[in-house]
């Protein structure tokens, strides 16, 4: 299913709707690229608000698809990761203002997708946030660690990624994971208002300044993170200890042993 794109004045509101929880799989990746192709073609000068549906912004990687992948060939995992990397990299470097309207829970890759937007606005309530990859046997890609360090600073990125803590809305706001929190009924209006802060005739200036701000992070990604990911990431995702952790977490989550 193609993501919905709705114009609110000069802002393009993009609603992720690949599946009910926006679990990130190959269909989600394809939908993201298709949506941003449409933005570049039909809404090139629009600031962008990205949001989810229901009680979830995004549940992160589709574990049914990816644990099966990680149980297989390392080379296929390495090829898959290049596709995955391209999604959040495209969002991170998008030249127009990007605001994540975080309507609900955001875990793992879903929280990364919110974090690589320029601003994050959360809905008050009982949503939870966390990056639990390490605790379920998935090494955090170096490229994403660099993006999260850019977005949150080193202390918050380290705390969030190393120990897999789950945070409330209030905690996420206090840590800077969410820049603002508003009542749920005000979420989209506030996100659109933030997206509109840059005047229309200053969008190229915004793009230049964003590119300049991100230059050190992009340099580190090219020189340090990408080589590390190419050398070690797929092997870490498919190692025997990681696969044991995948099976253990699957049984905890689903209540039955894995069939892969």
For the chain of 260 residues, list the mean pLDDT of each consecutive stretch of 10.
92 97 97 98 98 96 97 96 97 98 98 98 98 97 98 98 97 98 98 98 98 98 96 97 97 94
Domain boundaries, the chain: 4-195
- Provide the pLDDT for residue 1: 55
Asked if 133 is an active-site residue, the reply is yes
**Residue 2: what pLDDT?**
85
Please give the pLDDT value at position 99. Answer: 99
Full strand arrangement of the beta sheet holding 119-123? 4-8, 11-15, 48-51, 98-102, 119-123, 180-182
End-to-end CA distance of the chain: 28
pLDDT at 43: 97
Q: Does domain 4-195 bear CATH number 3.40.50.2300?
A: no
The model's pTM is 0.96
- Selecting among 6, 34, 75, 133, the annotated active-site residue is 133
For residue 88, which of 32, 11, 5 has the smallest C-alpha distance? 32
């Amino acid at each position: 299913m193609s993501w919905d794109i709705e114009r609110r004045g000069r802002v393009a509101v993009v609603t992720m709707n690949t599946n009910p929880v926006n679990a990130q799989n190959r269909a989600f990746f394809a939908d993201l690229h298709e949506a941003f192709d449409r933005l570049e073609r039909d809404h090139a000068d629009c600031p962008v608000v990205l949001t989810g549906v229901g009680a979830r912004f995004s549940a992160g990687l589709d574990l049914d698809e990816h644990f099966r992948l990680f149980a297989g060939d390392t080379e296929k995992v390495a090829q898959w990761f290049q596709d995955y990397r391209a999604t959040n990299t495209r969002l991170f470097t998008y030249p127009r203002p990007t605001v994540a309207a975080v309507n609900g829970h955001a875990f793992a890759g879903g929280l990364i997708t919110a974090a690589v937007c320029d601003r994050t606005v959360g809905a008050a309530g009982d949503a939870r946030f966390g990056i639990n990859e390490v605790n379920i046997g998935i090494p955090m890609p170096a490229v994403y660690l660099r993006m999260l360090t850019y977005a949150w600073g080193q202390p918050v990125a380290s705390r969030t990624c190393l120990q897999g803590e789950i945070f409330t809305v209030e905690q996420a706001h206090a840590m800077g994971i969410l820049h603002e929190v508003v009542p749920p009924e005000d979420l989209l209006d506030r996100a659109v208002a933030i997206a509109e802060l840059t005047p229309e005739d200053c969008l190229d200036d915004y793009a230049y300044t964003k590119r300049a701000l991100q230059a050190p992070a992009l340099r580190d990604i090219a020189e340090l993170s990408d080589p590390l990911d190419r050398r070690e990431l797929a092997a870490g995702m498919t190692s025997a200890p990681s696969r044991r952790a995948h099976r253990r977490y699957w049984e905890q989550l689903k209540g039955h042993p894995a069939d892969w």
